[in-house]
């Protein structure tokens, strides 16, 4: 993930740090987690980075919740996507089984725990495939993003500072 973040940051190096962090937070896979790591690497203060990352991560979510089924239906007809869409649906279905066990708390937890393969994008996709209504899923995803953000603030900002103070080195 660090290499991907670094290459995106290098590609966008002429842009303001806030915009780079916003763009990284918009992207699937990286999302808020990648945005906060990039913000720390760029020297952006956490209290500036956090709302930018939350906004960037949440911006695509209503569109995923509302339109992903129609988008997938369209993309199934596009040659390059015929094989990709079933793979995405299968992956979301597998993640959906984890979510479905706890339903609402499962969706929140799935988004909140910042591990590979989890996050708002996959949570929104799984919620859609599980037919969890937007008025239920959006607040849970939002709370999950906030929680993941707090965890990542500790990892990206507090942990390096603590190591610097305790052991005299930083990441």
Tokens matching residue 38: 């990039």
Q: Quick: pLDDT tens for 74-87.
A: 998 888 888 888 88
Is residue 151 very low, low, confident or very high in pLDDT (cuts 50, 70, 90)?
very high
Q: Which residue has the higher pLDDT, 55 or 98?
A: 55
Where are the domains positioned within the chain? Answer: 2-58, 61-147
Q: Kindly list the distances between the CA atom of residue 112 and the CA atoms of 63, 106, 170, in Å, as whole numbers in the listed order.
A: 20, 10, 27
- Structure confidence at residue 171 (pLDDT): 61
Q: Quick: pLDDT tens for 127-147.
A: 998 889 999 999 999 999 999
Q: What is the pTM of this model?
A: 0.86
**What interhelical angle do 104-112 and 134-153 show, nearest 10?**
30
Q: Quick: pLDDT tens for 1-51.
A: 778 888 888 888 899 999 999 999 999 999 999 999 999 999 999 999 999
Q: Which residue has the higher pLDDT, 169 or 56?
A: 56
Q: Kindly list the distances between the CA atom of residue 45 and the CA atoms of 20, 21, 79, 120, in Å, as whole numbers in the listed order.
A: 14, 12, 44, 23
């Amino acid at each position: 993930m660090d290499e991907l973040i670094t290459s995106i940051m290098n590609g966008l190096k002429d842009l303001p740090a806030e915009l780079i962090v916003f763009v990284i937070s918009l992207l699937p896979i990286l999302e808020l987690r990648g945005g906060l790591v990039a913000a720390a690497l760029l020297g952006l203060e956490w209290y500036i980075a956090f709302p930018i990352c939350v906004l960037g991560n949440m911006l695509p979510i209503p569109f995923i919740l509302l339109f992903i089924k129609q988008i997938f239906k369209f993309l199934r007809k596009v040659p390059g996507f015929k094989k990709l869409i079933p793979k995405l649906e299968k992956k979301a279905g597998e993640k959906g089984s984890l979510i479905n066990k706890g339903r609402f708390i499962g969706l929140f937890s799935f988004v909140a725990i910042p591990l590979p393969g989890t996050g708002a994008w996959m949570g929104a996709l799984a919620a859609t495939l599980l037919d969890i209504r937007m008025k239920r899923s959006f607040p849970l995803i939002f709370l999950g993003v906030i929680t993941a953000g707090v965890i990542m603030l500790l990892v990206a900002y507090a942990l390096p500072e603590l190591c610097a103070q305790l052991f005299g080195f930083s990441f």
